[in-house]
Structure 1
Amino acid sequence: MRGVPHGTLISMTAPRPAAGPSDGTDEHDGSDDLHRLPPPRPAYDAHTWKEIAYLLLNLPVAVFGFTYALTVVVTGGALTFTVIGLPLLALGLLGARQLGKLERARARKLLGVRVAEPSPLPIAKGGGAVQRLWMALKDPVGWRTLLYDAIRLPWGILTFCTVLTSLFVLWPVLPYLARVMANLDRAMVRGLLSPSDELERRIAELESDRGIVVDTAAADLRRIERDLHDGAQARLVNLAMGLGLAKEKLLEDPDTAAAMVEEAHGEVKLALQELRDLARGIHPAVLTDRGLDAALSAVASRCTVPVKVTVDLPARPAEAIEGIAYFTVSELLQNISKHSGARTAAVDVWRTADRLILQVRDDGRGGARLDGGSGMRGLADRLGAVDGLFVVDSPAGGPTVVTAELPWRDRTA
């Protein structure tokens, strides 16, 4: 409904009527209460038959799960001191995750239990075999699923025998028995197969984000190395060679030597400019000295599109957040220069509560996407690694609006 914040619960119950004049008695016929009660559920409706089917399937599923859990624990434990013991146990825990997924699907289909899927194993991209093995061995989701499978065999036998007997002997009370046993099944699924508390999910996210940060840092180091090797380093090598030749010709051909020195002087200027550009790409001095307003204005002045910059901040954020904000806007403005075909652009930066908001707009052709190959996905990953958000709104034909949020952290003295 328009005007109602997302997540707000809206009461659809009619307002309670005002009390009429009292006649001094408390007696009433209860008709209003009856109207408010839900209609009685039929004894054998679709829900009941689904519960009965679930309870009858408990036995074969429990037998398989118990056998699997016993095999994984006994085999993995017995072979722990061998080379293959721990890898077998890790594979068994990964398989338990899949069994848990199937059980959640069965409960969702037949019992209507909506249980979220656990987070994937938090293994960073490029992690070694030992790291992957360790993360699988300490996976709480896999261990809880093995526990679920281990305790289900007695329960599966009980529910199967009870339902099967009741189908021929206790037919009138079977719906009530099925309801009670199905509720216990629902409790077990929620207790052992649902994701752990928010802390575990948060740990998984942080593990994944750490991998993104490591990969990003490695990519930045490779870029700096490549820029030094192909740019300033190559130019300085040529400069050294040119000066060496000029030194040899200094006495026998002073004019040629002077021309070579002049050329070397130009090479020095270009090398210095490349080193300044490289340093600006690592962390510009203007950002350190004067903050986001001046740094973003400097970036905007180098954009091929006229850019209006507005920074409204009560104070400077933490250095790490300030750096991420600077490079995010810088890369977005580079994209505007290269891909947008825009005539104008704008950058707005402000603080809302505990969030730093960045918004970059242009009137170009639009069509920007996170998977469009223009670096958007990398920006989204970098912001996500620090609890940030990255939203791209770019319909075909434009305009394009990119909004980024970063957590506000105060700058230390």
Structure 2
Amino acid sequence: MKTKLITTWSRAVDLFLDFIVGTFWVTLFLALIATGIPLILLAGLGVLLLLGTAALTRVSGSAERHRAMALHNVAIEAPHRRRTTRTDWLRPFAQGLTDMTDPVTWRTLAHHLITMLVGSGMLLILAGGIGLLEWLTLSANAGTVSWAMPVAAGLAALLLLVLYVVYIGRLDEAASVALLGPSRSAALAGQVNQLAQARKGAVSAADTERRRFERDLHDGVQPRLVSTAMTLGMAKHRFDEDPQGARQLLDEAHEEIKESITELRHLARGMHPAVLTDRGLDAALSAVASRSPVPVRLEVNLAGRLDGETEAVLYFVVAEALTNVAKHSGATSAQVQVNRRDGAVCGRITDNGRGSAYVTPGGGLSGIGDRVRSAGGTFTLTSPEGGPTEIEVLVPCES
């Protein structure tokens, strides 16, 4: 109830400002256009004025978008404005012509007109209600009408005003989102591009993970198994002549096989540890932090479990990031924070190392970025020379 009341008051304030600000913008743009058109034949001054008028919609549109976001408590993405391809001294004029033909310019002007109209409507209801109430009050004082008339008129005017604020306020909010944000086609194009980036990230992440697994097998388990095979071969040849030596070689082969099994388990755990499935992200990250040669301060602030994909992505990000910290950063400490943020989960890994980290194709940081993008998230790296290095990822997650 309290939230609805606050929303109603916000819409009332917005509609009142709509009249003031909308009237200002409409008056300004009409004056500029009305002045510019007659001056077109006067040494082209009118053309310059009209080009400047189109450019001014960038300022007015941005100001109105931020006002709408503040009062309606909605997120409105900035629309994509067309840009000229010219780079010579005619660029400002070419950009002005581009702005005049840009649909965003005309949508912004339409928004200014709508805000002026809906704001004027609220003031008309308010002024009309006050005028009617004043007239009925004077009539009641003169005895020509009953006192019930001004009371009923006041209540009716108040009800009409509240209904106008509620329903026209919703219309004004919808118009702000539709006219000041990206067009539907642009939004769809953005979604398609995001899905394409996610698909590309998934393919790259899978390829990176495959190459990492092959490298770990080639550098670790494979040589150990080859050595085990050679040991078994020597034991086989010594079995008749030197049973004791053969027994010793078999013991060595047995130890090598157990170590190979342990290493394979570590590799499988690195892909998707059992503790992540059984006990969740907090426990899995605690295990990763405890194995890190660099001291890690871990903070996981999550209420309940996340979906499996989100947990797997965050686990991979933290594990790979801490591996890079241990190998390349020269850091003496690191910090990992995982928190919810506006329909997503934010993971931040910071170290006090030398900094100057950058993304290289096929590298660990590149793999982190690919893995995050495959889940529709974002990856940000900040690593100035001298440190600190900070990795921040945002992974969408259902509440």
TM-score for the superposition, normalised by structure 1: 0.54
Which runs of no fewer than 5 residues in structure 2 stay unpaired? 1-13, 21-25, 52-82, 104-182
How far has the Cα of 1:113 moved from its partner? 4.0
Whole-angstrom distance in 2 between the partners of 1:310 and 1:316: 15
- Match of 2:95? 108
2:284 is the counterpart of 1:295? yes
Whole-angstrom distance in 2 between the partners of 1:284 and 1:381: 20
From 372, 378, 387, give the equivalent of 2:367: 378
2:190 is the counterpart of 1:201? yes
Deviations 1:18-57 (A, max 9, x none): xxxxxxxxxxxxxxx99998463361344527999xxxxx
SS in 2 for 1:369: coil
SS in 2 for 1:238: helix
* Equivalent residues in 2 for 1:342-353, closer than 5 Å: 342-353=331-342
2:250 is the counterpart of 1:254? no
Structure 1 letter corresponding to 2:366: R
Deviations 1:166-205 (A, max 9, x none): xxxxxxxxxxxxxxxxxxxxxxxxxxxx993422331233
How far has the Cα of 1:356 moved from its partner? 0.7
- Match of 2:153? none
* Equivalent residues in 2 for 1:33-52, closer than 5 Å: 38=31, 40-41=35-36, 43-44=39-40, 45-46=44-45, 48=47
Deviations 1:354-374 (A, max 9, x none): 111111122222223345985
Which runs of no fewer than 5 residues in structure 1 stay unpaired? 1-9, 17-32, 53-99, 117-193
Mapped contact 2:205–2:374 kept (Cα < 8 A): no
- Match of 1:368? 357
Q: Which has the higher helix share?
A: 2
Whole-angstrom distance in 1 between the partners of 2:199 and 2:297: 35
- Match of 2:389? 400
How far has the Cα of 1:110 moved from its partner? 2.9
- Match of 1:77? none
Q: 1:355 to 1:47 in 2, by over 3 A?
A: farther
SS in 2 for 1:392: strand
Mapped contact 1:367–1:398 kept (Cα < 8 A): yes
Structure 2 letter corresponding to 1:337: A
SS in 2 for 1:43: helix
SS in 1 for 2:185: coil
TM-score for the superposition, normalised by structure 2: 0.55
Whole-angstrom distance in 2 between the partners of 1:241 and 1:392: 47
Structure 1 letter corresponding to 2:194: E
How far has the Cα of 1:208 moved from its partner? 3.5
Whole-angstrom distance in 2 between the partners of 1:349 and 1:252: 63
Structure 1 letter corresponding to 2:39: A
- Match of 2:314? 325
Q: Give the alignment's Cα RMSD to 1 decimal.
A: 3.8
Whole-angstrom distance in 2 between the partners of 1:383 and 1:318: 15
Structure 2 letter corresponding to 1:252: E
How far has the Cα of 1:403 moved from its partner? 1.6
Whole-angstrom distance in 1 between the partners of 2:353 and 2:375: 30
SS in 2 for 1:322: helix
Mapped contact 2:201–2:371 kept (Cα < 8 A): yes
Mapped contact 1:51–1:111 kept (Cα < 8 A): no
Whole-angstrom distance in 2 between the partners of 1:302 and 1:397: 26
- % identical equivalent positions: 41
SS in 1 for 2:384: coil
Deviations 1:289-339 (A, max 9, x none): 211111111111222211011111111111111011001011111121122
